[in-house]
Amino acid sequence: MNTPNFPTAATRDHALALLRQFLPLAGTAYAKNRNLHRPGHPHVSRLSPYLRSRLVTETEVIDAARARHGDGADTFVAEVLWRAYWKGWLEMRPQVWRETRAGVLAALARLDRDADLARTYEAACAGKTGIDGFDDWAQDLVTTGYMHNHQRMCFASIWVFTLHLPWELGADFFLRHLLDGDPASNTLSWRWVAGLHTPGKTYLAKADVITGLSDGRHRPKGLAALDFPVNGAPNPKPGPCPQGGVWDHRLPTALLLHEDDLSPDWLLDAGLRPLSTAFLLAADDRSPRPVSPLVKDFLRHATDDCSRRLSADLATIHGPVQGPGAVDALVAWARQTAALQIVTPFAPVGPVAGLLASLDARLAAENIRLVRAMRPYDAALWPHATHGFFRFHQTARNLV
């Protein structure tokens, strides 16, 4: 196993240091070398866990890359924009997330009935299939919480077309272990590999490509030579894109931060002065199976970092709140603050958004408003994710 030297310090300062380190490579070097499978992955930014929790924001990263490379940063900027595309696409089709969650439960039930499938699944998760490359990536993921983007594509392809495992279980495996586990990017990327996102267009991993990109370190054998149709519901038509709420500056207000957005400076700059601030974590809600301690530790430390950074600006800080009693705890906190509204950054489709929906109903019974304020970056980009990424990118690159 070749464990990548992947830094996991969950602080904004560390994220900014990574960005400074990567910036010289964010132009043509990234465009040329980003798919190489090399130890330590020196040709990519390694910023994905920090972008996922917004310890550093997409706008900051895009602006820094363009300032250094101009149009030469277009390939890197496009990769950052993929995150907004996936989120916007899923916001307008939230039933895909619900169907995927149901598919995970159905596939886990299949494992109880099919011993051979269960053995293959356990071997794949443990990196003990005998497939060179695939096994290393699985073990590295469990050990570090990271997998290189091109390796993710190859891994998903082998999972589906060579091992004949349900794609939903693969997406669930990633979401349990990836430090950057994002419901939209993860779910829809697996659907894309399986030929469900773009109907009929699959991604088939090829041994010679893996060997070439890994400088000969991995030489997998027995990979599927042909794909096959994967069962799944057709893509629904996009519904309306959600809009963020607006808070009333006259009301006593509390601030609820969560793992999807830990940079609330834009809210404070807009005049928000909370009586108290709490944090919500939803790692355990990612999967019916146990979530990696690495993921939980990263999110907890990221929350601690946010709390330390904001301690001078925020009067009272409470949290983090997590686990089965999270909603009850937040309702009690809201009562204690004497706030009449709770402002929270808009959470995209996923576990946090599900908890916020439950919280909203409970707070309404207390006559307390829950205002989901949408970051301008999301408000500008998400509505354009109506079709494929190419059309989205043509518009999005002129908006940021």
Is the same domain home to 285 and 387? no
The domain boundary residue, chosen from 195, 213, 231: 213
> How far apart (Å, rounded) are the C-alpha atoms in residues 211 and 219?
5
Report whether 71 belongs to an annotated binding site: no
Helix (H) or strand (E) holding 279: strand 277-280
- Which pLDDT score, from 0 to 100, does residue 1 have? 40
Residue 73 lies in a domain: yes
Residues 113, 156, single domain; the answer is yes
Residues 121 and 83 grouped into a single domain: no
Q: Is residue 235 part of a domain?
A: no
- H helix intervals, 127-239: 134-144, 149-157, 167-177, 183-193, 207-213
Q: Quickly list DSSP for 80-148.
A: HHHHHHHHHHHHT-THHHHHHHHHHHHHHHHHHH-HHHHHHHHHHHHT-SS-TTHHHHHHHHHHHS---
Please say whether the beta carbons of 286 and 298 come within 8 A.
no
The mean pLDDT of 152-166, rounded to a whole number, is: 98
Residue pLDDT, tens place only, 336-387: 999 999 999 999 999 999 999 999 999 999 999 999 999 999 999 999 999 9
Which tens digit of pLDDT belongs to each residue from 33-67?
999 999 999 999 999 999 999 999 999 999 999 99
Q: What is the CATH number of the domain that holds 118?
A: 1.10.579.10
Decide if 342 contacts 363 (C-beta within 8 A).
Answer: yes
Evaluate whether residue 351 is within a structural domain: yes
- 388 and 335 assigned to the same domain: no
- The answer to whether 3 touches 143, Cβ cutoff 8 Å, is yes
Quick check: is 202 in a domain? yes
Q: Is 216 annotated as a binding residue?
A: no
Mean per-residue pLDDT over the chain, rounded? 95
Measured CA to CA, the distance from residue 138 to residue 160 in angstroms comes to 14
The pLDDT of residue 2: 42
Task: Provide the whole-model pTM.
Answer: 0.96
Structure tokens that stand for 340 in this block: 């009449």
Do 122 and 182 lie in one domain? The reply is: yes
> What would the two tokens of residue 298 be?
């990263």
182 is in an annotated binding site: yes
Domain enclosing residue 168, as ranges:
100-213
The counts of H helices and E strands in the chain are 18, 5
Do 134 and 194 lie in a common domain? yes
Question: CATH number, domain at 275?
Answer: 3.40.50.620
Count of domains for the chain: 3
Percent of the chain with pLDDT over 90: 92
CB 218 within 8 A of CB 342: no
pLDDT of 4 above 60: no
Q: How far is CA 193 from CA 97, 103, 148, 153, in A?
A: 16, 16, 15, 7
Q: Are residues 84 and 112 in the same domain?
A: no
Q: Is 248 annotated as belonging to a binding site?
A: no
- Residue 270 sits in the same domain as residue 358: yes
Q: Is 377 annotated as a binding residue?
A: no
Residue 244 falls inside a structural domain: no
Question: Given a cut of 90, is residue 133 above it in pLDDT?
Answer: yes
Give a yes or no: residue 2 inside a domain: no
Say whether the peptide bond before residue 320 is cis (omega within 30 degrees of 0): yes
Residues 259 and 369 in one domain: yes
Give yes or no: residues 185 and 86 share one domain: no
110 and 86 both lie in a single domain: no
CA angle 82, 264, 377 (to 5 degrees): 30
Query: Residue 78 carries which side chain, given as an amino acid letter?
Result: A
Domain assignment present for residue 241? The answer is no
Q: Are residues 296 and 353 in the same domain?
A: yes
- Any domain includes 247: no
